[in-house]
Chains A and B, each alone.
Chain A
Amino acid sequence: MKVVLQNVTKIFPGRGRGASDTVAASNLDFEIPDGELIALLGPSGCGKSTTLNLISGLQKPTSGRILFGEDDVTDLPPENRGVGLVFQNYALYPHLSVTDNITFPLGNLRGKDRMSKAEMKQKAYEIAKLVQIDGLMDRKPGELSGGQQQRVAIARALVKMPKILLLDEPLSNLDARLRLQTREEIKRIQRETGITTVFVTHDQDEAMSISDRIIVMKEGVVQQIGKPQEVYDSPANLFVANFLGTPPINVFSASVKGEKLYIGEDCVLDVKNVPDGEVWAAVRPEGFVLDENGPMKCALDRVEVMGRDISVVSENENSVNPVVRSIISAENRVDISSKTVRFRLKPFKTLLFDKKTEDRVFFGDDK
Chain B
Amino acid sequence: MENKSAKGWLYLIPAILFLGAFMVYPLVDVFVYSFEEGYNSASQTFFGTGLYNYSYILHDPYFLQAVKNTFILVIVTVPLSTLIALGISYGLSSIKALRELFQTVYFLPYVTNTLAVGLVFMILFQKTPYTDGLVNLILGFFGVSPIDFIDGPYWAKMFVLCFYTVWVVLPFKILILTSALASVSDDYYNAAKVDGTRPFRIFRKITLPMISPMIFYLVITGFIGAFKAYSDAVALFGVNLNAAEMNTIVGYVYDMLYGDSGGYPSYASAAAIVLFAIVLTITCINLLISKKHVHY
Contacts and interface: CB of A to CB of B under 8 A. Distances in A.
B194 A95 contact: no
B209 A95 contact: yes
Contacts of B188: 91, 93
Interface stretch (B64-72, B163-171, B196-204): B196-204
B219 to A, nearest CB: 18
A160 B206 contact: no
Contact of B196 (A80, A91, A140, A142): A80
Q: How large is the interface on A (under 10, 10 to 19, 20 to 34, 35 or more residues)?
A: 20 to 34
Interface in B101-147: none
A322 interface: no
B184 to A, nearest CB: 10
Contact of A87 (B187, B212, B295): B187
A79 B193 contact: yes
Given A87-B187, A91-B188, A95-B210, A79 B194 contact: yes
Given A95-B296, A142-B296, A108 B193 contact: no
| B187, B198, B206, B295: residue with the most chain A Cβ atoms closer than 10 Å | B187
Nearest to B198: A108
A12 to B, nearest CB: 15
A156 to B, nearest CB: 8
B187 A91 contact: yes
A56 interface: yes
Interface string B151-194: 00000000000000000000000000000000001011011111
B118 to A, nearest CB: 41
B194 A56 contact: yes
A87 B190 contact: yes
A84 interface: yes
B195 A105 contact: yes
A77 B205 CA distance: 21
Interface SS of chain B: helix, strand, loop or mixed?
helix
A108 B191 contact: no
Nearest to B193: A78
Nearest to A101: B191
Nearest to B195: A105
A22 B198 CA distance: 32
Interface string A73-98: 00001111001110111010111100
Contacts of A104: 192, 195, 197, 205
A107 interface: yes
A99 B296 CA distance: 17
A58 interface: yes
Nearest to A109: B196
A8 B196 CA distance: 24
A104 B206 CA distance: 10
A96 to B, nearest CB: 8
Interface string B207-246: 0011010000000000000000000000000000000000
Given A79-B196, A95-B295, A85 B191 contact: yes
Interface of A: 56-58, 77-80, 83-85, 87-89, 91, 93-96, 104-105, 107-108, 140, 142, 156, 160
6 contacts: A58-B193, A79-B195, A80-B196, A87-B190, A91-B191, A108-B196
Interface of B: 185, 187-188, 190-198, 201, 205-206, 209-210, 212, 295-296
